[in-house]
Amino acid sequence: MSLAKPFDGATDTSKPYDRIAVIGAGAWGTALASVAATAGRQVRIYGRDPDTVEAINSQNENTRYLPGVVLPPALTATGQLSEALMGADAVLMVVPSSAVRKVAAEMKAYLPPGVPVAVCTKGIEPETGFLMSQIAAEELGEMPVGTISGPTFARETALGHPTAATVAFEFRHLDRLNPHQSPAARLAVSMSTASFKTYISDDLIGVEIGGAIKNVIAIGCGMMTGAGFAENTRAALITRGMDEMKVLAEALGGRRETVTGLSGAGDLTLTCSSQTSRNMSLGVQLGKGIPRKACFEGRAVVVEGEANAASVIALARRVNVTMPICETVHAILHGGAELHSAFAELWTRPIEGEPRTLDISLRNPAQARAPQTPGKTP
């Protein structure tokens, strides 16, 4: 006996983009390219490493970043940026945050006007306080610029595990009049498969803020886990960390409710719950007392949250926003603060009302007591 399929209420149609260029052949770029190819798009991925390009084309595998994951045969790779962008209807830009400005400037010469660019990189530029989409928009001019963000590990996405993500672009006047043909809607349709579920947002700032801050909170969760604390502590950091996301998003013109979605609460929960995340893993190692240089067995592993901690705090101070958890993580990573005492200070901050409408701040009596060593029974 089969159950009747309920009517889902969707009546509008949106035209997908046929040809998608993916700039960046790391793990997440390759995963997104695989999703787009599975969705039936013509996909060309650009990578700087000749061996990676060759492996994708000859073995249908990114042996360096996603070993063991079979990629769709229709997915092709190139080492030439111009070739990847030639004839593209939409672009996914998936390069390290430190390279977004440079690569966007290089892309401009090869992109015809109006091609939407989704910057699928998370972070804040230290010098300017710009989000990744703002950097790309400054370099690309009038191109529609957005993002794809959500609770996504690259390997799980590429393997076809059910995954959901948000496609966000600012809606211009014509997008408001015809939303199902907006870049956000068209790219969402272009990337949808039986296992990759897309949602649409017009709050680009809110979506990007979640992605930029969650790595910092994840390092903090890892630190407390490594120091011997358990689920209560992690739940508190996730919940209050999400509030810090909301406050900063709102200060920059985003919406608080956006942060409760996939790119905020979803991504934060995932990153703070698994050592598959390099940010969580780094925090755990630091919490155990392993020196930073010895983390990851001494390998030079880039952890985005380390740099993000500095840029997030610089931006928060610039717009007069207080972010106690991020400040604590930043103080440990970059200010030489001792981990146990820094988190003890966090827990003895003034008592506040949780709803923003309750404007109250009380002296915390715990502040006057001698701090206990975390993880130890007094």
Shared domain check, 189 and 156? yes
Range of the domain at 264: 212-354+363-368
The per-residue pLDDT for range 249-288, each reduced to its tens digit, is: 999 999 999 999 999 999 999 999 999 999 999 999 999 9
Considering the domain boundaries, does residue 141 fall inside one?
yes
Domain count, the chain: 2
Cα 255 to Cα 103, 124, 247, 275, 319, distances in angstroms: 29, 18, 9, 30, 16
Shared domain check, 193 and 69? yes
Q: Which residue, 210, 222, 213, 235, is CA-closest to 274?
A: 222
Residue 90, H or E segment: strand 90-93
Residue 309, H or E segment: helix 304-318
Shared domain check, 316 and 272? yes
Considering the domain boundaries, does residue 10 fall inside one?
no
CATH of the domain at 328: 1.10.1040.10
The answer to whether 214 is a known catalytic residue is yes
Considering the domain boundaries, does residue 190 fall inside one?
yes
The per-residue pLDDT for range 179-232, each reduced to its tens digit, is: 999 999 999 999 999 999 999 999 999 999 999 999 999 999 999 999 999 999
pTM score, two decimals? 0.91
Residue 8 pLDDT level (bands cut at 50, 70, 90): low
Amino acid at 232: N
Q: What stretches of 106-236 adopt beta strand conformation (E)? A: 117-119, 145-149, 163-169, 196-201
Considering the domain boundaries, does residue 134 fall inside one?
yes
CATH of the domain at 168: 3.40.50.720
Considering the domain boundaries, does residue 53 fall inside one?
yes
Considering the domain boundaries, does residue 376 fall inside one?
no
> Beta strands 351-352 and 361-362: pairing type?
antiparallel
When pLDDT is averaged across residues 95-118 and rounded to a whole number, the result is 95
What is the pLDDT, as a whole number, of residue 374?
47
Which residue matches tokens 């949106």?
Answer: 14
Shared domain check, 218 and 193? no
Shared domain check, 220 and 196? no
Shared domain check, 240 and 161? no
Residue that terminates a domain, selected from 153, 169, 202 = 202
The per-residue pLDDT for range 35-77, each reduced to its tens digit, is: 999 999 999 999 999 999 999 999 999 999 999 999 999 999 9
Q: Which of 122, 214, 246, 376 is catalytic?
A: 214
Shared domain check, 155 and 56? yes
